[in-house]
A = this chain, B = another copy of it.
């Protein structure tokens, strides 16, 4: 089946990958408070997950715990960071510098860990040339140049929905294979490209669904069709 060769057991489940950043955040907090080692139980509580799940997740990275003791916080931070690729620096470009794009550009929280906003790009002549968070907003015509010259490997899309697919096509053509999309559209991309989407409207609708259910309770007879 699989090549019997070697440590290419790099097949980490997607669900696990999605939780590693959560563990990392909890671990950073602990490191700051001077905690040297942590048990799976304590870390699980801090990350809001089941401890067996946490142990299984960590076991995918290797055997980094010590039975009877727990995990070394610093060491685990390093291992998870390395696994996630945070030991290197990622250049991010934000395309679409409107309400949301500005908020993202001004946000310091993600720059702190391996990510660096390397460019801001917009189509509006009113916006181009502005300085936001110390960065000059560049014209969309420069998109490919900027991506190529600054080694941008992740693009954050914060344009209106109507423009998203076109911009998406261009950044992919420019060699980008990781996109974080805030526009409420389903982007069509080759399999080789990863797209993650953040959609506020969808989140609210899911909340509304559950809220309605709570309010309606076990019997909500009104409305026959």
Which residues of A pack against B, CB within 8 Å?
5, 7, 10, 17-18, 20-22, 24-26, 46-48, 62, 82-86, 88, 90, 92, 99-100, 102-104, 106-107, 109-110, 113-115, 153-154, 177-180, 184, 186, 188, 192, 194, 196, 198-214, 223-225
Cβ-defined contact, B211 with A178, below 8 A: yes
Contact (A21, B202) CB under 8 Å given A107-B100, A186-B47:
yes
What is the chain B residue whose CB lies nearest that of A158? B103
Knowing that A20-B209, A198-B198 touch, tell me 4 more A-B residue pairs with CB under 8 angstroms: A22-B202, A84-B208, A102-B103, A180-B203
Could you tell me the distance in whole angstroms from the C-beta of A188 to the nearest C-beta in chain B? Answer: 8
Complex A-B, nearest 9 residue pairs according to Cβ-Cβ distance, in ascending order: A85-B212, A48-B186, A99-B103, A103-B103, A21-B205, A178-B207, A21-B202, A110-B201, A5-B225
What is the chain B residue whose CB lies nearest that of A113? B201
Cβ-defined contact, B10 with A205, below 8 A: no
Contacts of A25 in B (CB 8 A): 184, 201
Cβ-defined contact, A208 with B114, below 8 A: yes
24 A/B residue pairs, CB under 8 Å, sorted by A: A5-B225, A7-B225, A17-B209, A25-B184, A46-B186, A47-B186, A48-B186, A62-B225, A84-B205, A85-B209, A90-B211, A92-B204, A99-B107, A107-B200, A109-B184, A109-B201, A113-B201, A114-B208, A154-B207, A178-B207, A178-B210, A180-B207, A196-B207, A198-B198
What is the chain B residue whose CB lies nearest that of A208? B85
Cβ-defined contact, A208 with B48, below 8 A: no
**In the bound complex, how far is the Cα of B19 from the Cα of A199, in angstroms?**
12
